[in-house]
Amino acid sequence: MPVTDTGLPAAMRSLAVALDSRHRTGVSTGQWRWRVRQQMAALRDALVAEAGNGDEGWTAAREGGMLRERNALLVRMGTLGPRVLEHPDPDAVHLDLQRLLADVGHHAQRLRNLAYDEVELELGGSE
């Protein structure tokens, strides 16, 4: 049975695919803008769903930092959203979104690292 890909990784891949369609034959700039905007909404929803609980004592400060980082990414997305549909230079928007996607990827890696550290704590570490 195939594994379905969901959450933040799937949303990131979907946005990357939409961004890559920028110069494909048969895809107008308007279509590209609309696809990207839809995938940005999916990515935003996935980021919102990734919130930690902040209950874990020694990881609470890191989770707080992750929450601040996520909120900064959401603000950037909110700023870029209207630009996707309205900015006269779609290539500039494409570049900004590539940077955003890279930053979301770094955020996702830090989330995985935090989750790993929480599991390691529960299991007793590696000493």
**CATH number of domain containing 38:** 1.20.120
Residue 51 backbone class (left: φ over 0; alpha: ψ -120 to 50; beta: rest): beta
Confidence of residue 3 (pLDDT cuts 50, 70, 90): very low
Residue 33 is encoded by which pair of tokens? 């803008």
In a domain, 75, yes or no: yes
Contact predicate 25/86, CB 8 Å? no
pLDDT at 17 > cutoff 60: yes
| Residue 121 confidence class, pLDDT cut points 50, 70, 90 | low
Tell me whether residue 80 is in a domain.
yes
Residue 112: inside a domain: yes
Average pLDDT over residues 30-49: 96
Q: Is 73's pLDDT higher than 90?
A: yes
Number of domain units in the chain: 1
The predicted model scores a pTM of 0.83
Range of the domain at 103: 7-123
Q: Is pLDDT of 55 > 90?
A: no
Question: What's the average model confidence in pLDDT over 23-30?
Answer: 90
Residue 1 lies in a domain: no
Q: Which has the higher per-residue pLDDT, 64 or 56?
A: 64
Query: Is residue 41 in some structural domain?
Result: yes
Six-digit token string for 4:
């379905």
- What pLDDT does residue 114 have? 83
Residue 97, in any domain of the structure: yes
In a domain, 100, yes or no: yes
User: Quick one: DSSP state of residue 25?
Assistant: T
pLDDT surpasses 50 at 2: no
Mean pLDDT of 58-77: 88
Residue 2 covered by a domain: no
